[in-house]
Amino acid sequence: MERRERADAARNRRAILTATEALLARQRPETISMELVAAEAGVGKGTVFHRFGSRMGLMVALVQERALGLREAVENGPPPLGPGAPPAERLPAFLDAVVDVVVRNKNLLAALGHAEASAPHDHGDLAEHPVYRFWHAHVASLLTGDDPRTLAHVLLAGLRSGPLVAMIDRGEEERVKRALRATASALLEKTGC
Amino acid sequence: MERRERADAARNRRAILTATEALLARQRPETISMELVAAEAGVGKGTVFHRFGSRMGLMVALVQERALGLREAVENGPPPLGPGAPPAERLPAFLDAVVDVVVRNKNLLAALGHAEASAPHDHGDLAEHPVYRFWHAHVASLLTGDDPRTLAHVLLAGLRSGPLVAMIDRGEEERVKRALRATASALLEKTGC
DNA sequence: ACCGTACTGGACCGGCGGTCCAGTTGTCAT
DNA sequence: ATGACAACTGGACCGCCGGTCCAGTACGGT
Distance of alpha carbon B142 from the chain centroid: 19
Q: Average pLDDT of B15-40?
A: 95
- Output the pTM of the full model: 0.91
pLDDT cut 90: percent of chain B above it: 78
Nearest nucleic acid nucleotide to A47, CA to C1' distance? C8
DSSP string, B45-110: HHHHHHHHSSHHHHHHHHHHHHHHHHHHHHHHS-TTTSTTS-HHHHHHHHHHHHHHHHHHTHHHHH
Residue-wise pLDDT tens digits, B104-142: 999 999 899 888 877 665 555 665 788 999 999 999 999
Chain B residues with CB under 8 Å of A164 CB are 150, 153-154, 157
Q: Which residues of A touch B150 (CB under 8 A)?
A: 164, 167, 175-176, 178-179
Q: Give residue-wise pLDDT tens across range B143-176.
A: 988 899 999 999 999 998 889 999 998 999 999 9
Q: What is the spatial distance between Cα B18 and Cα B128, in angstroms, rounded to a whole number?
A: 25
Lowest mean pLDDT among A124-128, B62-66, B83-87: A124-128
Q: CA nearest A191 in B: which residue?
A: B186
Of all residues in chain A, the percent with pLDDT exceeding 70 is 92
Q: Is the peptide bond before A92 cis (omega within 30 degrees of 0)?
A: no
